[in-house]
């Protein structure tokens, strides 16, 4: 079994109240506080071996998440995307087509879920310099974006399952699919 490394910051676990809050908009992206939080998140996701992390997962209920997709122990087939801070993100459009895929979560370390997500999304967010970004994401990157956005809205991947039959222990997942 693969084990999630411990992060330098405590990661909120399923059941913690911060994971059920709608996170607040970031008003001053250039503030020292915001920039330090982004740095903490980058370190936390790297140390934990994730492909993304949302601010609520490190106990800050603000609308920031990081996507940093790359192959690792938890996601050996992940595509490459450099670590990107996304502030005040939103989905502008999404495809009608959805695909189920396996997701794990640093806040739910012992489980994986077979979660339906939109195949293609068009999004808007602000980068850490405060510049508005409009992007289209597909496949695994679109899945990460939707997963992390759920965290900002007070949800986890478990809330998106269509059936509890789509939930599996991480030990079983690694034996069957990794």
Distance, in Å, from the CA atom of 156 to the CA atom of 137, rounded to the nearest integer, reads: 20
Q: Tell me whether residue 60 is annotated as binding.
A: no
Please say if 172 is a catalytic residue. Answer: no
Q: Which residues contact 66 (CB under 8 A, 6 or more apart)?
A: 38, 41, 42, 45, 52, 53, 54, 83, 84, 85, 86, 148
Distance, in Å, from the CA atom of 83 to the CA atom of 70, rounded to the nearest integer, reads: 9
Considering the candidates 132, 148, 170, 172, report the single residue annotated as catalytic: 148
Q: Tell me whether residue 16 is annotated as binding.
A: no
Distance, in Å, from the CA atom of 78 to the CA atom of 153, rounded to the nearest integer, reads: 25
SS3 70: coil
| Binding site residue list | 105, 147, 151
| Binding site residue list for Fe cation | 105, 147, 151
Catalytic residue ranges: 148
């Amino acid at each position: 079994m693969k084990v999630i490394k411990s992060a330098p910051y405590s990661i909120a676990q399923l059941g913690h109240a911060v994971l059920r809050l709608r996170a607040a908009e970031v008003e001053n992206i250039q503030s020292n506080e915001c920039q330090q939080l982004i740095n903490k998140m980058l370190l936390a996701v790297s140390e934990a071996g994730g492909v993304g992390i949302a601010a609520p997962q490190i106990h800050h209920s603000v609308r920031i998440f990081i996507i940093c997709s790359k192959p690792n122990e938890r996601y050996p087939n992940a595509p490459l995307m450099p670590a990107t801070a996304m502030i005040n993100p939103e989905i502008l459009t999404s495809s009608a087509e959805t695909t189920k895929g396996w997701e794990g979560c640093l806040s739910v370390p012992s489980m994986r879920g077979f979660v339906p997500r939109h195949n293609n999304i068009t999004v808007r967010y602000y980068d850490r310099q405060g510049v508005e970004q409009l992007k289209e994401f597909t496949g695994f990157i679109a899945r990460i974006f939707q997963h992390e956005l759920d965290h900002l809205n007070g949800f986890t991947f478990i809330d998106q399952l269509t059936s509890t039959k789509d939930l599996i222990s991480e030990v079983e997942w690694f034996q069957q699919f990794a």
